[in-house]
Amino acid sequence: KQARAADRTRQLGERIGVIRAFNQSEDQATKDALTGLLNRRSTEEAIQRLQRDGTRFCVVYADIDHFKRLNDTYGHETGDRALRLFSRVLTDSLRPSDVISRWGGEEFVMILPNTSAELAKPIIERLRLAISENTGLGAVPAVTASFGIAECGPSDDFAERLNEADAALLLAKQNGRNRIALAGSLL
């Protein structure tokens, strides 16, 4: 009996190991290694699901202001800490149903389902303030971020709406950074 029990325990341990390895592989395939946020491919899949389901959403394109200067001044390790902190603020500040991803470098894309630009504006303003409040406290120098917002419908071309959000982000940066712009006009 003890031999069978030991064999079952060993088999169970092996199964748990396989499940852990599978989960780790899945995380590596869907998430950004540095921030733990969704990667670009996973975000695009989430957008396709939203559009298939007929869900309207806002696309928010965000960028940490003067990130290159932060890296050049304090080093890449500090830049990495800033990216992780920024990601944590995004996750803590947005709803569980929102899609948050590191799009590349210091750029982030957020998808806010069932949210118009008017509803997104105060949400993103609180997020912008939270970033300022949570940086400059120790290991991460004070940083700010700029945001561009565009609305996207179920039949819209997501790439076009993303480009509009990116153009709004550039407008926010041109108008002084640390601000929000709506596709087509500064907020």
Residues involved in catalysis: 106
CA pair distance 169, 1, nearest whole angstrom: 68
71 burial level (CB within 10 Å; 0-12, 13-18, 19+): middle
Instruction: Please give the single-letter amino acid code of residue 141.
Output: P
Residue 2: both structure tokens together: 């003890």
Q: Which DSSP string do the residues of 88-116 spell out, in sequence order?
A: HHHHHHS-TTSEEEEEETTEEEEEEET--
Largest CA distance in the chain: 76
